[in-house]
Amino acid sequence: MLQEHYPNHIHLLRRRRRLSQKQLTELIGLEDRTMISKYERGHVVPTLEVAAKLQIIFGVNATDIFPRLFKQWRYEIDHAKGARKTVRGASDIWLSRLPAGSTIRRRFATTKYYLNTIRKNCSSMSIAAVIGRAT
């Protein structure tokens, strides 16, 4: 029943510690207790600083405080990983269907090679440097 009303476990953990919203507000260092109510009801997602303080106060991980949020984020990340694999796989299938030695196949393979090189090295050098190396 509790999960039906609250999208996170802040309310449950606060009640287990026998803290009022006002006491929790003082521990976190907020000015107004209404923010605690907004956090508990899921109207506002706490900042990283507030979430870290909640972890310390309750002695649990953020995943235990915000299980629905972490489940949603996990789904989004897994979905994005799956979509990326599908796109890469589709380009490989398309490339394999082109006649061997054709100009289009060579150009596509060369472009794909350069894009992969840029993707791997983008943190250490600029795109212009990668392209300059290739020519």
- pLDDT tens sequence for the chain (135 residues): 344 567 889 999 999 999 999 999 999 999 989 999 999 998 888 999 999 999 999 999 888 898 888 888 888 888 887 766 655 566 666 666 666 776 666 776 677 666 666 666 665 555 455 455 554
* Domain final position from 65, 97, 112: 65
Rounded Cα gap, residues 2 and 71, in angstroms: 18
**55 and 79 together in one domain:** no
Q: Which domain holds residue 44?
A: 2-65
Is the Cβ–Cβ distance between 115 and 122 less than 8 Å? no
Is the Cβ–Cβ distance between 119 and 88 less than 8 Å? no
Q: What is the pLDDT of residue 20?
A: 94
Q: What is the pLDDT of residue 7?
A: 83
Whether pTM > 0.85 for this model: the answer is no
**124 and 78 together in one domain:** yes
